[in-house]
Structure 1
């Protein structure tokens, strides 16, 4: 196996590993309306506190992101990761790297996730 093939295989293996990790995370932490509503409420409260401090000419306080905000950010990040990897599996570049059918690989990974 030449260096090009090793590199191509490494790229594909990493994409598969990242896909599995992101899909597993999303199974454990699905995006829900309740979570989104909680985060929206927290953001509105934070904006209100910031505006109140600004009107009183108080220095900006250090606002930490809540556990729910951080979780929702991770969910969005993993959803984007899945979308990017799916796009990669369907791309011409993937076809240049390997003879494997990207759609077949994607379906296989999805079935693997469903099987648990």
Structure 2
């Protein structure tokens, strides 16, 4: 049984998808913040941004994508 037994399996899957995108975005942002050009990290960040702003993202979660992106970007500058 999962930690969040009050969520149905589809909600758990949706949350896992969003959380993985957040982890991927954080990792790419961290690599890019080092000042070197990293094509793979930039591609990952761009892909995550497209996902966050997609209709699919809005079907998976009620999070405001622009708020989420701002918060993730603030982590790098903090």
* Same fold flag (TM > 0.5): yes
| TM-score when normalising by structure 2 | 0.87
Alignment gaps of 5+ in structure 1: 32-74
- Deviations along 1:39-72, whole A, 9 cap, x unmatched? xxxxxxxxxxxxxxxxxxxxxxxxxxxxxxxxxx
3-state DSSP class of the match of 1:28? coil
- Which residue pairs with 1:46 in the alignment? none
User: Pick from 90, 102, 105: which aligns with 2:68?
Assistant: 105
* Number of matched pairs: 72
Which of structures 1 and 2 has the bigger CA Rg? 1
Aligned-pair Cα RMSD in Å: 0.9
> Higher relative CO (CA 8 A, sep ≥ 6), structure 1 or 2?
1
Q: Which runs of 4+ in 1 moved over 6 A?
A: none
| TM-score when normalising by structure 1 | 0.60
Give 1 or 2: higher helix fraction.
Answer: 1
